[in-house]
Structure 1
Amino acid sequence: MRGHHDWGLGRRGDDRAIEGYTDRVSVLPGETFRLFVSTTGRTFRAEAFRMGWYGGAQARRVWKSGDLPGRRQPVPDASGETRTVSAAAWRPSARISTGGWPEGSYLIRLTADSGDQRYVPVTVRSRSAAGKVVLVNAVTTWQAYNTWGGRSLYQGPDGKGDYDGRSLAVSCDRPYDHNGARLFLVYEQPAIALAESLGLPLAYTTNMDLDADPGLLARARAVISLGHDEYWTPAMRHRVTAARDRGTNVAFLGANACFRRIRMESTAHGDRRLVVCYKTDWKRDPWYGRDDAGVTTDWREPPRADPENSLTGTLYESNGTSAVYTVAEPGHWLFAGTGATRSTRIPNLVGTEYDRVTGDAHTPRPIEIIAHSPLKCRGVRSYQDSAYYTAESGAGVFNTGTMRWVESLKGDGAHGIPPSSARFTRRVTANLLRAFAQGPAGRRHSARDNLVRYDPFPSNAISLHHDLW
């Protein structure tokens, strides 16, 4: 189907020139959502673009509005002990029906009469995942890093140095910062475009829907965590793990996945629109001492430690590095057709956050380390690993172990990654998605354990200061 190349932002303008949010993170096809917009313009227009491949255009416009009245709406102060910023008091600007919209990941492009533009993301989720590869939008992580209104789960109004002023709970009832869809465009959209170019049976959802619906992954062939998927509720983790144990393949196309344990609570606009994470202040979490399994902190930390590598295969180690990606097992099926050899090195593909295999008691076996990249982070020498393991159910699980994997698919030279390396990462990702779409990958590609060969060390080589970055 023909796409539209003109889906980007021509001019972002000032932060308050135009911005908006929806009262639904996702909807089923045909359902409606409300759009809340603030703009300095007298009027604005909205257009809905479904993101995909479309012969390289990577988007198709499925709907557009006429001129809508603009109004400037206030930026609220943070409120409560959690210092939460919410624009739930804004007046709605439009009610939009998704009748005729195909399932998929969408960007609503807002354009003020001044020409200033901003995005608003929304997902039209699939009714069924049966027989499909499920692409999961990491909305909880988008919100964790969203500084709109001056606060995120990382910083207060004074910026990165204001860790003590950060929010302890962040609301979906507010716009996103920057262009309105920064994390989606960097860590998810390139993988979605590639997956659609392969013609595979795909399903679309968000991790908030995964938290809400215990049957969402029923009979799915694979579930794909995209490039930055850090914030998981216990229900999200339980449901992906259970799917793996039924034979559903799982892939993590980034690093630092399933690192934070969170809780979803209600807001004025509905259920599961508040992302709660006390992190290092977990003793202040109202659930502490009442339901320690639900206390919001890092998954590997007290009061109920459960390190993420039992699912992901790798353990997040640190951030702030840039290193050469080093192929360790060029004969692995994931590298088929890439021309990879033991001398294959890709500059800067490792970063800025990375994972490695530790070999501790939580590490699934059998597991194959297929890339093993020496690096230095914060003055300490360590390694990044890409790893593949197989479960007793026959499911295959792959983790790239680097946050730059999805970014590299674009081939635009970001972070100094050679544009030519996109041929390598695209082929590996295509091999992965095609194999995972066929059912339990371990039945055809059982992992050949090579853990001893790479002599992993069980404890972290680097003291984590993730909250300050």
Structure 2
Amino acid sequence: MRATKVLAAGVLVLALVTGCQSSPGASSTAPDTSDGHDEIGSNQPQLGSSDWQMHDSQVAGPMELAGYADHVSVRSGEPFRLFVTSSAGAYTVRAFRIGWYAGAGAKLIWTSPSVPGKAQPQPILTKDRMITAANWSPTLTVQTKGWPAGSYLLLLRATNGKEKYVPLVVRSDRARDAVLIVSGVNTDEAYNAWGSYSLYHGPRKSAAKRSLMVTFDRPYDLNGARGMLTDNVPLVQQAERSGVRLAYATSVDLQADPGLLKGAKAIVFGGHDEYWTLPARAAITRARDAGTNLAFMGANSVFWRVRYGPDAHGANRIMIGYKDAKLDPSHNAPDTTVHWRAAPYPDPENSLTGMLYECFPAKGAFTVLDPNFFLFTGTGAGAGSAYAGLIGDEADRAYPIAGTPANLQVVAHSPITCGPKHTISDASYYTVPSGAGVFTTGTIEWVRALQGPDPENNVGQPSVDFARQVTQNLFKALAEGPLGRKHPAVGNLPSLHNQASTSTGTGGRVGPSKGPVHP
């Protein structure tokens, strides 16, 4: 009954949109990048603005001020609708494009007129324990003509000073000859506990009452963009600082528009990209095998298998994640929503990332094994150089098991703790016959360290400088084309005597791979 109510509410929203006025006024004019690539000189100080940053004291409550967009991404020139609830009075929306901008971090692209505040209905809880705000009415239609491709934060600000973010990607039309940055919206949504439900828990942190599916038709919790701010924004800022040609997309676009990947120099994933669909993984594997480099800038990548479903706002708006084959109606299929390494169709992540997810909570120093590795140029690192705090709070490890590339080159080999256990975190690199290279940092903390020192996690300036230099080296190398042509991987995993048993980790049993399944 509740699921039917969601659909009916969604139809009502679609009927109301014709009465929603667009807001074409812009506070800042941006060049029209019709080819979908970023052409902004984001290193120009006069273009940047620090006004995109939000102080904790300004964060509005869950229903005081919050909103979501009806698309996770749009092409430049395509409109999108905002669904906002505000008991805090009238508000404005400002669109900030994330970039380097001489350290300012973002540029103001557009500002709305004042929008009257309106309290929307309470969200709906479906029979699958999914919280949805698809019963909200649209409050604003935003035109994006002239908006350059990129990662955006829409900043809602009410008259009482309270604020909230709404993330959005203006995706590129194509990624040919560019380095494509993928925003991990699947993982952001999986952890999103707005309305007290996520794929991890329900009310009072009850795992037994967690959602079995989640929807993009609701705001994000806390400040509205916590995942993007920690695991994507610092990477985008460094990417734009590098000066290489960039393109932008989201996890959803990998399935919805796989042709976007054709001819890309590289595809880069942020600090935490845990949730993948079967078509997305197949598309990325094909791109690698056609010569496109890959970089996994975090850990725990490609760990959970999910699939999408439609709702009244369109396709791919619901992400299904039962996390248990017995609960999943599609319980014996290639897209059964379990670990990628688990039955019924195990295809462990190491065949793509090079390594396996090892553990949480991980802590330790990033310890260099091969100081001559090309990405470590200019860091001053030597064999055994240790960069405090760079391993955390999840980590990967290389294992000599089926699926691990035969030429896997471990370039950092770091003793760490994982709760009471002692284990290893690795950073790795491998190449494939197409010439493509695949680099994995093996730690979620890497991207977060790009922001600057973090005393709470023991990340000091030397660790920040090291991570930034390696990241700059990486983007410039990726943009030159297949890494393996200049830097073929030199396998060294056997010399490390890494154990084949995964008992030191917390990622669960690794099933015998049935190989990739192409949808």
Return the letter of the residue paired with 2:413: H
- Per the TM alignment, residue 343 of structure 1 is displaced from its structure 2 partner at its CA by 3.3
Q: Quote how far apart the aligned CAs of 1:42 are.
A: 2.3
The whole-number CA distance in structure 2 between the counterparts of 1:321 and 1:367 is 22
How far, CA to CA, are the matches of 2:484 and 2:471 in structure 1? 17
Residue 439 (1) aligns with residue 478 (2):
no
Of 422, 426, 430 in structure 1, the residue corresponding to residue 464 of structure 2 is: 422
> TM-score scaled by structure 1?
0.96
Aligned mates of 1:69, 1:278 — CA distance in 2:
39
- Equivalent residue number for residue 155 of structure 1: 201
TM alignment of 1:297-312, pairs within 5 A: 297-312=338-353
2:504 matched to 1:462?
yes
- Alpha-carbon contact 2:272-2:300 (below 8 Å) kept: yes
CA distance in structure 2 between the aligned counterparts of 1:410 and 1:463, rounded to whole angstroms: 28
Does the residue aligned with 1:19 lie in a helix, a strand or coil? strand
Alignment equivalent of 1:366, drawn from 407, 412, 424: 407
Partner SS, residue 265 of structure 1: strand
1:323-334 alignment runs, 5 A limit: 323-334=364-375
Q: Please list, as runs of the form range in 1=range in 2, the aligned pairs for 1:26-105 lying within 5 A after superposition.
A: 26-80=73-127, 82-105=128-151
In structure 2, distance between residues paired with 1:450 and 1:254? 22
Secondary structure in structure 1 of the residue aligned to 2:393:
strand
Structure 1 match to 2:53: 8
Give, in whole Å, the separation in 2 of the partners of 1:432 and 1:253. Answer: 10
Contact 1:365 1:390 in 2 (8 A): no
* Amino acid aligned to 1:372: H
Q: Pick from 275, 281, 285 the counterpart of residue 328 of structure 2.
A: 285
Could you tell me how far 1:238 is from its partner in structure 2? 0.5
Structure 2 residue 237 is matched with structure 1 residue 199:
no
Q: Tell me the TM-score normalised to structure 2 length.
A: 0.87
Letter in 2 for 1:151: Y
Report the Cα distance in structure 1 between the residues aligned to 2:251 and 2:418, rounded to whole angstroms: 30
The answer to whether the aligner puts 1:236 opposite 2:280 as a matched pair is yes
Task: Report matched runs for 1:251-270 at 5 Å.
Answer: 251-270=295-314
Instruction: Give the equivalent residue in structure 1 for 2:425.
Output: 384
1:127 matched to 2:173: yes
CA-to-partner distance for each residue in 1:43-73, whole Å, 9 max, x for gaps? 1110000001111111011100111011112
Deviates more, 1:251-260 or 1:54-63: 54-63
| Amino acid aligned to 2:453 | D
Number of aligned residues: 460
Deviation at 1:462, TM superposition (A): 3.0
RMSD, aligned α-carbons:
1.2
Distance 1:17 1:412, change over 3 A: farther
CA distance in 2, matches of 1:448, 1:19: 50
Tell me if structure 2 keeps the 8 A contact 1:411–1:420.
no
Conserved in 1, the CA contact under 8 Å of 2:124 and 2:135? no
Kept in 2, the 8 Å contact 1:45–1:111? The answer is yes
In 1, the alpha carbon distance for the partners of 2:471 and 2:202 equals: 37
Q: Deviations over 1:327-360 (max 9, x none)?
A: 1111111111000012311112111100000010
2:358–2:507: 8 Å Cα contact kept in structure 1? no
- In 2: Cα distance, 1:307 partner to 1:275 partner: 21
Instruction: Specify the alignment match of 1:321 in structure 2.
Output: 362
Unaligned 5+ segments in structure 2 are 1-43, 509-519
- Kept in 1, the 8 Å contact 2:181–2:236? The answer is yes
2:160 counterpart letter in structure 1: S
The answer to whether the 8 A contact 2:407-2:490 is kept is yes
Would you say 1:181 and 2:221 are equivalent positions? Answer: no
Secondary structure of the equivalent of 1:352?
A: coil
Name the CA distance, whole Å, in 1 between partners of 2:446 and 2:299: 9
Matches within 5 A, 1:345-356: 345-356=386-397
CA distance in 2 between counterparts of 1:130 and 1:78 reads 42
How many Å separate the matches in 2 of 1:219 and 1:185?
29
Looking at structure 2, the residues matched to 131 and 258 of structure 1 have their Cα atoms a distance apart, in angstroms, of 25
1:224 Cα deviation from its structure 2 partner: 0.2
Identity of aligned residues (%): 45
Please give the alpha-carbon distance, in whole angstroms, between the structure 2 residues aligned to 1:270 and 1:430: 38
**10-19 vs 367-376, which moves further:** 10-19
The letter of the residue matching 1:219 is G
